[in-house]
Amino acid sequence: MRVKKLLHTRMRVSNMEQTIAFYREILGLEVVEQKVSPRGSQLAFLAVPNSEELIELCSFPTSGPVQVQEDLVHLAFEVVDLDNTIQELQAKGVPITDGPTQASSGSRFIFIDAPDGYEIELIQRAPGVVIV
C-alpha cells in the first residue's frame, strides 16, 4: 500500500467558535466547511493559503476535556516577514511563547499558542531554504 496524499489533520478542540476565530483572525485561515458528523461531533475544515491540505477541527464535548500534551504536536506555517508578524501579533494581544530564534539555515521562527494549548510555529524561511 502507498498513500496518495495528505488530506487533513484533525485536532480536537474545546470551544469551536473560539478556535475558529483564532485561526481566522490571527492566522488568516478560511473555513471551507462546517458540519455535524454522524456521531454528533461538530466539525470545521480550514483551508491554509497555498496548500491543499486542510485542518479539521473537531468538538465533541462528551469525550471529556481536551488536554494537549506539551511538545507532542504543533502546526508550522510560513510567513513572509517575521518582524512584521510579531508586530501584528502584539497588536492583537497574542503572546509569543518562544523566540524569535534563528536556525542554522538562517530561517527564523517563533511560537504562539492556539486555544487549548496547541503550539503554532511561524517561520520566515531564509532565501533558498526549503525545510527548516
Residue 114's closest CA among 85, 75, 80? 75
Helix (H) or strand (E) holding 47: strand 42-47
| pTM of the predicted model as reported, rounded to 2 decimal places | 0.88
Cell numbers placing 25: 483572525
| Domain covering 1-61: architecture | Roll (3.10)
How far apart (Å, rounded) are the C-alpha atoms in residues 122 and 80?
10
- DSSP-derived 3-state class of residue 132: coil
Q: Where are the domains of the chain?
A: 1-61, 68-132
Predicted pLDDT of residue 132: 55
Q: Which amino acid is at 63?
A: S
How far apart (Å, rounded) are the C-alpha atoms in residues 79 and 76?
10
- Which CATH class for the 68-132 domain? alpha beta
Average pLDDT along the chain, 132 residues, taken 10 residues at a time: 89 95 97 94 95 95 84 88 96 96 93 94 87 62
Predicted pLDDT of residue 124: 95
